Chains A and B, each alone.
Chain A
Amino acid sequence: MLSKPMTAASINAIILTILDRGDSYGYEIIKHVRDLSDGEIDWPAGSLYPVLHRMKTDGLVTSYWHQPDGERRRRYYRITAQGRTALSAEKKQWFTVHNLLIQLWGPQTRLT
């Protein structure tokens, strides 16, 4: 299980990335994340939706109700242009942290 601060830090980037691949709805997003992380990351639905709401207020995503054939009527979310900008900023930061940690955790290099 991911820690609370870690969840809070990563949830935006994860949601935006998933939506960047196509419109989706809450259950699908959670399922997707759960599957890809082998159940390591499993957000309670109750905490995902408020995040989506806030992202909507911030203008990163939009939502619409839609009922695909033979399925339930669901609220779909779609990334906006502003959301894409935010996503690339997130990406850059994650890569920065990632690169740093990889280097730090890799073979010991002298710092002086």
Chain B
Amino acid sequence: MGTANPFDLEQAIATWRRFLASSKGLLPDDLDELETHLRDEYEACLATGLDPESAYRKAQQRVGDYDTIESAYQPLYWQKVYHERRLRDELTTRLSMLKNYLKIALRTLVREKGYAFINVFGLAVGMACCLLILLFIQKERTYDRFHDQSDQIYRLAYSAESGGTVTDWAYSGAQWGPALAEAFPEEVAAARLQGNLGDGTDLVRYNDNTFSERHIYFADPAVFDVFTLPLLHGDAATALDAPYTIVLSTTMAHKYFGGEDPVGKMLNIDGSDYRVTGVYEALPSNSHIRLDMLASFATLLQDQPDYNSLWLYTYLLLDESSSAESVQAKLPAFMGQHIAREGFLAGLQGLSLQPLTDLHLRSHRQGEPGPGGNPTTLSIFSVVAFLVLALACINFMNLSTARSTGRAREVGMRKTLGANRRQLILQFIGEAVLLCMLSVVLAVGMAWLCLPFFSTLAGTSLSLSVLSDPRIVGGLLAVTVLLGMVTGSYPAFVLSAFQPATVLKGQAGSSSQKARLRQVLVVGQFAVSIALLIGTGIVYQQLDFIRSKTLGFEQDQLLTIPLSGSAVADEATFEAFRSRLLQRPDVLGVTASSNRLGERIWIWNYRPEGWQDEEEYWTTPALLVDYDYIDTYGMEIVAGRNFSRDHGSDATDAILINESAARFLDWDAPVGKTMAVPANESPHNVTVVGVVKDFHFASLHQEVAPLIINLEEGFRRYLTVKISTDNVAESLAFLEDTWAAFEPERPPQFSFVDDQFAQLYAADQRLSRIIWACTGLALLVACLGLLGLISFTTEQRRKEIGVRKVLGASVPGIVMLLSKDFLKLIALAFMVAVPLTYFAAARWLDGFAYRTEVGVAVFLLAGALTLLIALATVSYHAVRAATANPVKALRYE
């Protein structure tokens, strides 16, 4: 016998525990409890005088033998364990199903690369197009919101009546803003911006840097309170206090001073020196007004203490507590107290407060600081964006259902193995969502690539920087998932409804009902494409009509140069300049005038003969010109005569009126009639010497308005030169040289009159270009869908084609057979699209006073074009199918 082992309690307990844990499956927590019990019993037994080993045996016996413990705990554990196991099983099943779904989805993608590409690419194109347009819309809608208090900023503007027509002006009087702020100090802060009245250009010089600037305003110091113009240098409180001080935007500071610190430097503007007192952060491009430089308003007041121009912008900052309505309600009383209704203001109709954030899209008053946006265009864009996206989605659904037969077997198999409908629907919707995700990634990439191009197209600068906003990304993701669910739902429901017995027997085909739905969708797609195409055609036609419309003068070879501030504007210099130019045979005419055609023309007061009321005036646009104007522009005199140097009295009292003015004044024989000109210094009468045939001096959106042409040689603000078209480059070079000889410091700014008119239709051009692009994309997407469908159909009918060929069908016959159905659909789509487009186009054209007739040609052309493109798409596959060797299709039969 070996030495008796001394009893080791801890080891005994450890063994006991281990055994219970491993063989009987007890949990640690319960073991702890049992162990304390064992130890308590053990100590109790020891106390009765037993030796340790016996005490331990007794204690263990009292706790219970292994089997008793196991059978006692088992019912307790069973529930717990069962529950856990079920959960684990469920999870593994789900995970492996998910893995399976993913695997199947990827395999399908890879196996059917063509369809997958068409699906994903088509959707991505639609999404990218939609994304870009939404970016544009978002930009247009967020104009001027970068000002901290943009919701409380309003523009004060007036409306005035003259000669029976009320004009809404974007302006207000110079003294109204301060008066308003004084009258309601707790509600209003006002900032005035006196611009250059749209005619243009100030010559700005610093050392050798000389540029013409168009966006310089005289501003009150309060401009810093009203707008958010963070000053990088200088002090906002004092920067615009003194006369002849100026603050610059960062862009301008860089332009003139480069890396230098501009503060304290002198900048020469139109001959006067201004001291730079600050630099502010340039406004972003989505501002309705461009503020390049702000000179102190005190500059104006120094020369004219009671400066009371009626042509400046006043911006009001309302206090948070006051509403625009309450201020607006006080305006009539304010008008009565503070505004004297005399002269031009005799016709003052009322003042309005325009919310700053509405100015870009909703305010189209006379004298707006910028071109402004068009809500109609925005809604057209939204519709187009939606259509292109819808087109892509239709494609997606169409192809998915068409391909469904290919997956019928899989569905049958899954159903046989116990998949229920819900699982199948989830599987297919999941697949669609996956594809959508792929597309959206692709779409963002495409949008990013196309952004510069699209920005030029839309005429604004756009950026994808919104994509760094997590909310936008979240929204995009949500939309993607939603889109996936919508587009995936139809195929999902169709696929999940298959009867396993039928599909596994191989009888699943496209039922006629499903085929009909596909046809409806194809018709829808092509209807949209054709509609867009017709729309493009009509827009193009109208713009072409405008371009080629005779404006009533010869616009082709006319170019203008602004003269204000230039030495050439002086009478003697001008005469010398003129005769120098006219020595050249290629210069056909030289004339000076107060305004350019296509831009706003100054308005003046007249009192026509026969108007009784001494106080009543006819305020109308009047062009101040010299003797050569009518001839240079090639305008036609329909009654009376042109101005003539032979009539000495013409210089002081001759005017021409246009036909529209004659109609307005109701004068049958206008020649010889007189009007009073209430000029302050020299009230006098003028006589109508002739009538000019109506010519367009504004956009063709408007009818030709009444116009007076007044011989007034003093107002040489624009020079117009008519050159022969023989050698334009040479003529221009000559013009430039001659100009430099007279005005060496100031580069001439040529612009062609027809370009000026083209500016008027910039928005229309933009619309046209974007619709063009979208139409192209829509056609592309629709054709992609068609390509997918035709290749699917030909595949399905391979055997039929094989049999036909064996039986002697010709290739053209088979191509015809395959194409026929699709061509019918396109014809149907055409019939759907025509009436819709007709009404839409008619509405757009109503915005023009002069419009083209919508002919049948454009409809037919669009239809034919679509048909041709579709035919090309379809026939590619049809010809391939028809020329295939029938043996290949039939060898397994």
Binding site for B on A (CB under 8 A): 25-27, 30-31, 42, 44-47, 49-50, 53-54, 72-75
Contacts and interface: CB of A to CB of B under 8 A. Distances in A.
**Which of A26, A44, A45, A53 has the largest number of chain B CB atoms within 10 A?**
A45
Contact of B30 (A42, A49, A74): A49
A51 to B, nearest CB: 8
Given A27-B36, A72-B36, A72-B40, A50 B62 contact: no
26 contacts: A25-B36, A26-B33, A27-B36, A27-B37, A27-B40, A27-B41, A31-B44, A42-B62, A45-B37, A45-B38, A45-B41, A45-B63, A46-B65, A46-B69, A47-B64, A47-B68, A47-B69, A49-B30, A49-B34, A49-B72, A50-B72, A53-B76, A72-B39, A74-B36, A75-B32, A75-B33
B76 A44 contact: no
Interface string B57-86: 000001111001100110110000000000
Contacts of B36: 25, 27, 72-75
Given A44-B62, A45-B64, A50 B73 contact: yes
Contacts of A54: 76
A50 B73 CA distance: 6
Interface in B10-45: 30, 32-34, 36-41, 44
Nearest to A28: B40
Nearest to B29: A75
Interface of B: 30, 32-34, 36-41, 44, 62-65, 68-69, 72-73, 75-76
Query: By DSSP majority rule, is chain A's interface helix, strand, loop, or mixed?
Result: helix
B399 to A, nearest CB: 56
Contacts of A31: 44
Nearest to A52: B33
A25 B40 CA distance: 11
B64 A50 contact: no
A75 B31 CA distance: 11
**Which of B30, B33, B69 has the largest number of chain A CB atoms within 10 A?**
B33
B41 A46 contact: no
A26 B76 contact: no
Contacts of B65: 44, 46
Contacts of A72: 36, 39-40
A46 B37 CA distance: 10
Contact of A45 (B34, B44, B75, B76): B34
Given A44-B64, A47-B69, 8 more contacts: A30-B62, A44-B65, A44-B69, A46-B65, A46-B69, A50-B72, A72-B39, A74-B36
Given A31-B44, A44-B68, A72-B39, A49 B62 contact: no
Contacts of B69: 44, 46-47
A50 B76 contact: yes
Contacts of A30: 37, 62
Given A27-B41, A42-B62, A47 B33 contact: no
B80 to A, nearest CB: 10
* 4 interchain residue pairs of minimum CB distance: A46-B64, A44-B64, A46-B69, A27-B40
**Which of A31, A49, A72, A75 has the largest number of chain B CB atoms within 10 A?**
A49
A35 to B, nearest CB: 11
Given A49-B33, A50-B72, A44 B40 contact: no
**Which of A42, A50, A74 has the largest number of chain B CB atoms within 10 A?**
A50
Contacts of B33: 26, 49, 74-75
**Which of B38, B41, B72 has the largest number of chain A CB atoms within 10 A?**
B72
Nearest to A65: B32
B63 A46 contact: yes
Nearest to B69: A46
B48 to A, nearest CB: 13
